[in-house]
Structure 1
Amino acid sequence: MASALRTVLVVGTGLIGTSVALALRQHDVRVLLADRDQAAVRLARELGAGEDWQPESGPRADLAVISVPPAHVATELLDLQQRDAAAYYTDVASVKAEPIHRAAQLDCDLRTYVASHPLAGRERSGPGAARADLFLGRPWALCPTPEAAPEARAAVLRLVELCGGNPVVVDAAEHDRAVAVVSHAPHVAASAVAARLADAPEVALGLAGQGVRDVTRIAGSDPGLWLGILSGNAAPVAEVLEAVSRDLAEAATALRSLAGGDGTATDDITHLLKRGVAGHDRIPGKHGGPAPAYVVVQVVIGDRPGQLARLFQVCDEVGVNVEDVRLEHAPGLPLGIAELSVQPDAAAVLSQALRERGWQVP
């Protein structure tokens, strides 16, 4: 079964496409780059992601990775297949059912095509935001149709392996319903919260803390990109947002009652908050499975070059692994708080070591 990838064509040199190319280059795979935006291709090439694709004289690729918006996947696939650009094809769009349906309508060769979606990304876009390690340990959905040849599946599995992803085979419609819950609807909800800040008074913005930054972080992504994603998965996203809207409407009604003196309304609010905790606790940890309980060690850190390096050096010296890190800046002051998540039995050791070296640990 053919699965060796010696040459890969990446069509679309945005964040995901360029990250795929960079990951493949670390394994000495020859990567050919193509994009209608020549500036994006040049930047990706300068970053070491690969070389320009020469469709008339270049080699036939073992696999073509189509990294374009969902609405354009099928037409791009048809064009590449007509050119005989590669032996096998995949795409990395975040919507799967509609591109597959459209590809069938266009009479694309579904034997050589396996739709896929790496569930990884950043709030920044473009090749300049790409990283070779973007997919490490991340789920990578594979949605093969019944027509897909075993060799095509093997080629895409090899791609996922080289990029460090975790392959998950799932039906296309089920995939779209799932990402509506865990990705697409949360993005709209974050945008709705962030939209309240557009006309918020300066005093509110001056009081903004880490909570609002966490909730609205993804709202800073490219609206054009997300319009394409949401348009391709409109019905499942609408269903999730309608359910969220019912919860919010019920919470607003309860709060109005509470403001009017009805103390029993707290039960409805408490119920929603508890459901939120239960849902949060179901999110898998960084290694999969239930999220482990870490202890957060807070350290006051100056806003100066080298401070984080010094902080992590202490962790290295005492043999404490930092499972996660978050920075919270102090508005108007040249310092902030570094929150280091560590195993419970390591918290006291790290705190003592930091204090002994002059760090302020609240």
Structure 2
Amino acid sequence: MPYQWKVTPEDLFVERYRQMVASGLPVEDIDTVRSAVAEMWPDRPGGWVYEWSRLAAGYAERGRHRLAALAYGWAKFPTLADGAKKTALERQLEQYMLAAPGFEVAFERRMVIVPCEEEATVLPVHLLTPRGWAGATPVLLASGGVDTWKMDFHGLFETIALRTGMGVLAFDIPGTGECAGPMDSEDGADMVRVLAAEARALGNGRVLHLGISMGGHFSACSGLAGDVDAAIVIGGPVEAAFAPGRTFAHGMDGIVGNALGFDYEPTLVELAKSWPSFGLRPLLDLDANVPMLVINGADDVHVPQDDTLVFTGRRDTEVHLLPDTGHCAVSKMPHVLQLMFEWIDRHQIPTLPS
């Protein structure tokens, strides 16, 4: 069973405010929720899940389903630590599906059999394609991290599909969202290989992999191992983030602990025992990587600069450590997208006519 831990709601608002605004929610509505939230876990007036869900329900009543899905996404944030959070995720999916006919892209919810703890499980994935797409382009595998999942990143993935003409196959990484846990580096890599095969069959046979935050760990893994044809890593932890003695900011220890499958609040020592298997040094020491684009903000409080700079000088690899921005360079996302689209164009990946 998941667990709750001590985290101050205002700290989350401070860290994620720009992300909330960038998602498309009206600033005045975000500020109203912020002023009302006084505690993290109780499902009652003043509680995080309660106030975000109240905003979402108001959108839903007015038929504004896409905004409702975004607000329910923040209601279940940062992890499914209790029944109220799980209910918020269910309502997010409900509103997301209601919003789908109005998306600028074609949408299909698909079920893929993937490995999970030496067994197999059904993983819901979302295929976003430009209208009239006939599978003549590569497919981009795409995921977020431990607390921001495929439906939360819909706007970004939709933008990528429209700009590049590619299909986007969005999924949740192990231990998060609709993907069974616990989070495990090897199991996650195996899952990506299965999804890559699915993506090859959907498109023209070429597969790119975009990973954001902890999802960037898995896109770094697939890119270094050559499991895909190209990889984009945004804010991904690969080595230094898993070093002994690492501490966490803004409640990330509890978010990660839940993804790892703990049913109680672990100590930093207990968390650290999970890290050796996540370090990608064995893959970094190889020369098997496909073309890779690696980007992060220089002021990231979660992922050390070394996890970006370690890619500097690698064959077929482009690295950007952007100044004056933090984790995943969220505050400079337009620039990140520009870098990404220019990189895709230079690698002669088919794009829509200009």
Q: TM-score, normalised by structure 1?
A: 0.30
More helix by share: 1
Which has the larger Rg? 1
Tell me: higher relative CO, structure 1 or 2? Use CA pairs within 8 A at least 6 residues apart. 2
